[in-house]
Structure 1
């Protein structure tokens, strides 16, 4: 998921500061210690719907917004590329693939991102690897293969690199670039030499390859223009009742306003206004983790 989003941010020339914010927000939630703690608890395999919803919630935990079409395409890319990785893994341990994913993510993050999040997950993977017997590992591997068995979508980058056939099946590792087969879990997009990765979706054949049609459906605009917001409330100025305007920048978020109403025939009262500000998807997800 992170590889795909990073590739789309770059291909659509999103400014560096916005790209870094998108990646930081998403990876912070994805690798949050409380979420990871839940994932490492032995448990039955989650359904496709549960995993898709979880990743969808994580993917929109930033200023990036995805429409349903783009989310479905992102899901196709995530499931098929990972299915390809574990299908041709042969003697490579799937834990190694996951570790490469995490190390690959680390190279994409800005310097200020707390690397301890990634280091903590890598440590947990190593501890889990040491506990699992050979029979347990075979069971785990076969379960994952079965979980992905219903997915057969054709993916354009896999087709371009000669890793997937037109019928949706995968080529054997013996016929592919040796660097790709030996480093499963690396960012596959670095092997893609296509000049313009954004397809023309008016072309039917391009749509059939199942790339994302504008993954970055909406990234909130930054407003640099200063706009003054006028708030007029009853206030007391030098013992005289008046309506003095209160000026504030438009982007100022007012969560609480407390005022006193005083007059000759009016009993002093305390009035307060507390805004009901909707939480962001990231705050909602973190709140959910706090409640677990």
Structure 2
């Protein structure tokens, strides 16, 4: 079992979550300033350098319940709140669409899909949002890709396939696009429109041009158009975010599993070193702290 499945699950599902929320913000015609704040809050926590440092520590794949709770907590850091029903629908969409991507990725690997997820989410962000947070995440993926041998990669793929094997929900957007059959199984790659296969990880909703009325009945299948209907708008008061990490700490107390990060991000440049005399070939990380965006701005003003 790969010890690097957890960060790829969190990052890819998190990016799919951003796609859905962005889709609903636009459909509900939420004012631009509020939409930008929602996306900024969620992405800032999802890809926070400190959180990624913890996720990329070699560890067994986290359970479904823990990953779902982590992503729900991350979504709750914005000014828009999801109720349990909406989170359940959102979870179905995230897991099934990413599972579909893994199922049809005959000529693309998990690193390609993950990079495309991150770069596509970056295009949704407002211009003032720093791209350094995406570069940091991409660098972490590149480090793993460079260090992995064939056996490591095959082990990672097997871990992801096993992790997603229990999900079989029918998804309306996949059915409409002809990517999923009515029995819930996915269509074989050679039967699909090549456009869907060229850039796995991009926002799939851009291909879904079906127009539906806002008050249309929501079917039993998970449907992006009826998601987030009961969102509550509320101010985000606390600047410190508390997350339960998907990491086992042995005999340590439950409180030690609670991870606190400040919304004021300090970006980090992550490098990696191979442990000497390490037969298992585990990766370790050395974080070099760079200047904050505020310090860079002050330096630019001085110039």
Q: Give the TM interval when normalised to the shorter protein.
A: 0.7 to 0.9
- The answer to whether the 8 A contact 1:84-1:170 is kept is yes
Map 1:162-181 to 2 at 5 A.
162-181=178-197
Q: Are 2:302 and 1:289 aligned?
A: no
Counterpart of 1:24 (choices 26, 29, 40) is 40
- Of structures 1 and 2, the one with the larger relative CO (CA 8 A, separation 6+) is 2
After superposition, the CA RMSD in angstroms is 2.2
Of structures 1 and 2, the larger Rg is shown by 1
**Aligned equivalents of 1:36 and 1:174: distance in 2?**
36
Q: How many residues get paired? A: 232
- The answer to whether the 8 A contact 1:34-1:289 is kept is no
Comparing 176-185 with 98-107, greater Cα deviation is found at 176-185
**Aligned equivalents of 2:229 and 2:57: distance in 1?**
33
**Aligned equivalents of 1:290 and 1:190: distance in 2?**
33
In structure 2, stretches of 5+ residues that fail to align are 1-16, 245-257, 263-303
TM-score for the superposition, normalised by structure 1: 0.75
Counterpart of 1:99 (choices 115, 123, 128) is 115
CA deviations on 1:77-96 (whole Å, 9 max, x unpaired) are 00000000001101311110
Q: Are 2:231 and 1:218 aligned?
A: yes
CA deviations on 1:40-88 (whole Å, 9 max, x unpaired) are 1111000000000000000111111111000000000000000000011
**Aligned equivalents of 2:170 and 2:138: distance in 1?**
31
Counterpart of 1:45 (choices 54, 58, 61) is 61
Counterpart of 1:207 (choices 211, 219, 235) is 219
Counterpart of 1:196 (choices 187, 212, 232) is 212
- The answer to whether the 8 A contact 1:11-1:197 is kept is no
CA deviations on 1:227-263 (whole Å, 9 max, x unpaired) are xxxxxxxxxxxxxxxxxxxxxxxxxxxxxxxxxxxxx
Q: 2:137 matched to which residue of 1? A: 121
1:288 shift after superposition: 2.3
Q: Are 2:22 and 1:6 aligned?
A: yes
Q: Are 2:190 and 1:155 aligned?
A: no
1:179 shift after superposition: 1.5
**Aligned equivalents of 1:164 and 1:18: distance in 2?**
34
Q: 1:279 to 1:27 in 2, by over 3 A?
A: same
